[in-house]
Structure 1
Amino acid sequence: MKKTVGMAAVAALALSLAACGERAEDSPQAEEIDFKACMVSDSGGFDDKSFNQTSLAGLTAAEDDLGVQTATIESASDAEYADNLQSLVDEGCNQITTVGFLLGDATREAADANPDVDFAIVDFEFTDPETFEPNPPDNAKGLTFDTGQPSFLAGYVAAGTSESGTVGTFGGLNIPTVTIFMTGFLQGVEYYNEENDADVKVIGWDGKDGSFTEDFEDQAKGQQVAEQMIQQGADVIFPVAGPAGLGGLKAAQDAEAWGIWVDTDGCVSAAEYCDTLLTSVVKGMDVAVEQAIEDSVNDEFTNEVYRGTLENDGVGLADLGEDVPSEVADKVEELRQMIIDGEIQVG
């Protein structure tokens, strides 16, 4: 029997993903208004079963709930970001959301050049490159998520469920929005070891260096990396690599190992691997995206960064799989509150 780890947004996220492109008969769509909200994906595309897809669900929800007009552009490569943003500006978009850390520079440039358009960006905070102090344009808002917190819980789950005493994680690129997951996961395993006098090993990330597929698209690379980890004894795989990470789940499923998914509830977005998943580290990107659009519609938009945490339900864990021992599940509830209360510092 699966056990829910407290996060109200998970249920909403699952519903939004399941209903993306559909709407219940008893929920009429809002009357169309004269406002156009738009979105640019990163190179992973909107069908990545991960953060692009969930962010798109927020735009779709805004269309249904607020009546905004919408437009999207799916990026095929990193080189297209600036041109894709300009295309949406030329289309007359009032608000544009960009999805992913890699669009940070292009988003800043577009915001500076178009002060009458509001911009929001998922997984990026505008900071000075020398002082690291926040310095967003007046019309640009970062939507960030402290995914290290639920990743800590996922690491504890992985360590408490592993039978081999070895777990593995790998990323797409060595960038902060990827390594924040991996570091939290590592710290969760280390906490489990300290609390239980155990010696569960993490391969793929030591806090500074690790394993990366070097992109977010190539599932074959993800599968290859995960297979190598499984050959080294890992029986839990935690891929942080977008669509490339699906290859990691396939490797885990083929080897009858376990996986942990990221960004969305994998049992919803990648249901073919649900029987392999111990849990998923989820981010309420759809909720944050829709709120940023609503703020623009209501002339309440600010450039203050949004940060999703366990405390505000902006991040969390999906249901725990039936293979997770009950004592581990119970401890995760306790650890969640300890993180919220500041008794455990992650990152």
Structure 2
Amino acid sequence: MKVTTKKAGFAGLAMFGAAALLAGCASAPEESGGSTEAASDFLPCMVSDAGGFDDKSFNQLGFEGLTAASEELGVEPKTVESAAETDYASNLQSLVDQGCNAIVTVGFLLAPAALESATDNPDIEYVSIDDTVDTDFDGTTDAENIKPIIFDTAQAAFLAGYLSAGVSKTGVVGTFGGMNIPTVTIFMDGFAQGVDYYNEENGTAVKVIGWDRDAQDGSFTGGFEANDGARQVAQGLIDQNVDVLLPVGGPIYQSAAVAIRDAGREIALLGVDADVFETDPEVADLLLTSILKGIDVGVEDAIIEAGNGEFDATPFVGTLENEGVGLADYHDWADAVPADLDAKVQELRDQIIAGDITVESYLAE
């Protein structure tokens, strides 16, 4: 089974629920045929969040997209890593001072600093990964020079939840996040919806530990570092008999992997953002699948557009329909997924795309 992210998937554009954004959305970028000569003086830049560019997750995907775009344009990008949230504003200013023409900010938490920088520097083009930068909640991005690239990952997480409930032998699956912020909880909420749907269809009672949909709260590490605190949160869920575990928050999956190995029993790990089987072979044997976001493709297209003088601030929203989100292969776990369960996951994907199943999320409202 493969429901994955491809460049061709950006031919369509899903839409925000907010009416103003519905009116402003346009088609995603075409394959660029612009001249690299026009981009010779173009300087693309990127600032990471505290996870850093080697997080084997969304920061790394953003970096890969920037690198690919820069190679096509024939330019050298500048990047800066943030060690903490307090670095965001100063790191952005350092890129402004170096003459960057386009700046990519990676992560929801960078949005306030990105807005301030974009407002102060209207001639610079900004790309915001994982946030609409809509601080007044009127349905539009707060600066005309910011392009949001965001993902309705609840749709893909729904499929992962249904799949997880289907392979669980203990009848208990778990999830935890780095922080209780929308770009994290959208995974957890979609996952829980998928488990609920499995129970409704099959008359089962698979439990989700670590996320309460009604309370919109659950288990969080308080950050995005792979540390002993994250391992302890994972261990607490494992102690409640989970046999499928979804960590949401960049490198915290590495701490979950340690807890899984220490448990000494079969527990499936779910990755997020990238296909973690490919980005981190050290945990490959544990991975049932990964919930994908096409961050690399989105960044590459946006930067190529900017480098060719065709910057388009229209928000891109990744969905199952445009393949901006999806599930990775089952890889080593393929034999553990019954053919009828795999077929059902594919059927559910088609039903979500057709609108026959609605997956709730803040991007679908």
Q: Residue 218 of structure 1: CA displacement? A: 3.5
Contact conserved, 1:42 with 1:103, CA < 8 A, in 2? yes
Is 2:9–2:322's contact at 8 Å kept on the other side of the alignment? no
Q: 1:1-347 maps to which residues of 2 (within 5 A)? A: 3-5=1-3, 7-8=5-6, 33-129=40-136, 131-207=137-213, 208-255=216-263, 256-320=266-330, 321-322=333-334, 323-347=336-360
Determine if contact 2:159/2:191 at 8 Å carries over to the other structure: yes
Q: How many Å separate the matches in 1 of 2:246 and 2:299?
A: 26
One-letter identity of the residue aligned with 1:79: T
1:241–1:135: structure 2 CA closer, same or farther, 3 Å change rule?
Answer: closer
Partners of 1:287 and 1:247 in 2: how far apart?
A: 28
Deviations 1:68-89 (A, max 9, x none): 2200000000001000000001
- Would you say the 8 A contact 1:38–1:97 is kept in 2? yes
Q: Distance in 1 between matches of 2:284 and 2:73?
A: 33
Distance 1:194 1:9, change over 3 A: farther
Mark the CA change 1:171 to 1:4 in structure 2 (over 3 Å): closer, same or farther.
same
The 1:217–1:6 alpha-carbon spacing in structure 2 relative to 1, beyond 3 Å, is closer
Q: Does the Cα contact within 8 Å between 1:219 and 1:243 map onto a contact in 2? A: no
Unaligned runs of 5+ in 2: 11-35, 361-365
**What amino acid maps onto 2:89 in structure 1?**
A
Moved more, 218-227 or 68-77: 218-227
Query: Per-residue displacement from partner, 1:69-127 (whole Å, max 9, x unpaired)?
Result: 20000000000100000000110111000000000000000001011110001100022
* Shift in alpha-carbon separation, 1:297–1:7, aligned structure 2, 3 A: closer
Following the alignment from structure 2 to structure 1, what is the Cα–Cα distance between the partners of residues 66 and 287? 28
Give me the whole-angstrom Cα distance separating, in 2, the residues matched to 1:74 and 1:52.
10
Q: Any stretches of 5+ residues in structure 1 without a counterpart? A: 13-29
Measure, in 2, the Cα distance between the counterparts of 1:301 and 1:10. Answer: 19
Residue type of the partner of 2:2? T
Following TM superposition, by how much is the alpha carbon of 1:7 offset from its aligned partner in structure 2, in angstroms? 4.4
The whole-number CA distance in structure 2 between the counterparts of 1:209 and 1:10 is 36
The equivalent of 1:23 in structure 2 is none
| % identity of equivalent residues | 52
SS at match of 2:311: coil
Paired amino acid for 1:326: A
Calculate the aligned-residue CA RMSD, in Å.
1.8
Distance 1:69 1:6, change over 3 A: closer
Structure 2 distance, partners of 1:5, 1:100, is: 24
Following TM superposition, by how much is the alpha carbon of 1:291 offset from its aligned partner in structure 2, in angstroms? Answer: 1.0
User: Is the Cα–Cα contact under 8 Å of residues 5 and 292 in structure 2 kept in the other structure?
Assistant: no
Letter in 2 for 1:153: L
CA contact (8 A) 2:4 2:292 kept: no
Aligned length: 327
Counterpart residue identity of residue 297, structure 1: G
Q: Is the 8 A contact 2:271 2:290 kept in 1?
A: yes
- Cα 1:292/1:9, change in 2 over 3 Å: closer
What letter corresponds to residue 173 of structure 1 in structure 2? M
- Structure 1 distance, partners of 2:319, 2:342, is 20
Distance 1:292 1:11, change over 3 A: closer
Residue 303 of structure 1 aligns to which amino acid in structure 2? A
- What code does the residue aligned with 1:247 have? S
CA distance in 2, matches of 1:164, 1:183: 21
Quick one: structure 1 residues 302 and 6, their matched pair in 2 at CA, closer, same or farther if it must change by over 3 Å?
closer
- The answer to whether the 8 Å contact 1:128/1:134 transfers is no
Which residue pairs with 1:25 in the alignment?
none
Separation in structure 1 between the aligned mates of residue 131 and residue 278 of structure 2, nearest angstrom: 25
When residues 291 and 275 of structure 1 are mapped into structure 2, their CA distance, relative to the original with a 3 A threshold, is same
Q: CA deviation at 1:128?
A: 4.1
- Report if the CA contact (8 A) 2:226-2:254 is conserved: no
Output the TM-score relative to the length of structure 1.
Answer: 0.91
| Range that drifts further, 221-230 or 164-173 | 221-230
Which secondary structure state, in structure 2, belongs to the residue aligned with residue 97 of structure 1? strand
